[in-house]
Amino acid sequence: MTNTVKTVLLLGAMSGLFLFLGDALGGAQGLMIGFLFAVVTNFASYWFSDKIVLRLYNAQEVGPDHRLFQIVGRLAERAGLPMPRVYIIPQPSPNAFATGRNPSHAAVAATEGILSMLNDEELEGVLGHELAHVKHRDILISSVAATLAAAIMMASRFALFWGVGGDRRGHDREGSNPIVMIATLILTPIAAMLIQMAISRSREYDADAGGAAIAGGPTGLVSALRKLEEASHVVPLDANPATAHMFIIKPFSVSGLTSLFSTHPSTESRIQALMSPARP
């Protein structure tokens, strides 16, 4: 099963959770209020994501004379993409991300640390990964997933606030089980979050494969991932948790059960996928 199919199925599962919660609440007004609020919030985030995140990290735009601009330009032409804007982030921790609502309004940013650490072949692998995110319109996909997850969480909070499974006067619906309803309102948002993280991890695998194709092979990206994984422990990135999913490697490491809530697969699993004869 391809990662694209997995993403579609996961989005469908999250939509099903939303409908299930709506049925459990008996058409509570909070469900639609939460959904509409989530749509507006995430639409604004999607539309202005590039400006918001670039300002958050004090990114500085660079021009054609810069090494980063030249590498991005070569890769964008190879990938058949419009030339994105290119930015440097004044951070010693090595990392990079892409943003923008579509390929015509894209931006690629890299930290000073990653430029000093990686050679050109490794940078091509990293930047190819970021351009693959742009080509696959992953900002849109993550925005849809975030909208559904936020709507589910808001609806649950509304329901708990107004009364579990009750009408606006606080009376329980006939035949409802308060314990089951409470469990539903608590566990459904957790399930939505797990699905959202799974979507993000799936898109990372696709961006790795797409980036390797753009760069002409996986060697540079594999070498870069190994270096970045080691460096992330030594020089952590001062990152906002809300933007952690955007970076090529998560700014902090996770393991065990907490990896279920990670926006990135483990670096080793990404390398194994890249080196596999049948890459996802």
Give the integer Cα–Cα distance in Å for 211 and 100. Answer: 17
Alpha helix (H) ranges present in the chain? Answer: 3-24, 29-47, 49-56, 67-79, 112-117, 120-135, 138-162, 178-215, 219-234, 267-275
Are 106 and 112 contacting, i.e. CB atoms less than 8 angstroms apart? no
Beta-carbon contacts of residue 191 (< 8 Å; ≥ 6 apart): 17
Give the integer Cα–Cα distance in Å for 109 and 122. Answer: 15
Q: How many residues does the chain have?
A: 280
Two structure tokens written together for 91 = 């951070």
Nearest to 76 by CA among 57, 100, 52: 100
Give the integer Cα–Cα distance in Å for 243 and 101. Answer: 15
Give the integer Cα–Cα distance in Å for 40 and 30. Answer: 15
124 is catalytic: no
Of the residues 122, 124, 130, 204, only one is catalytic, namely: 130
Task: Kindly state the DSSP code that residue 64 receives in the 8-state scheme.
Answer: T
Q: What interhelical angle do 219-234 and 178-215 show, nearest 10? A: 130
Are 146 and 171 contacting, i.e. CB atoms less than 8 angstroms apart? no
The residues annotated as belonging to the active site are 130
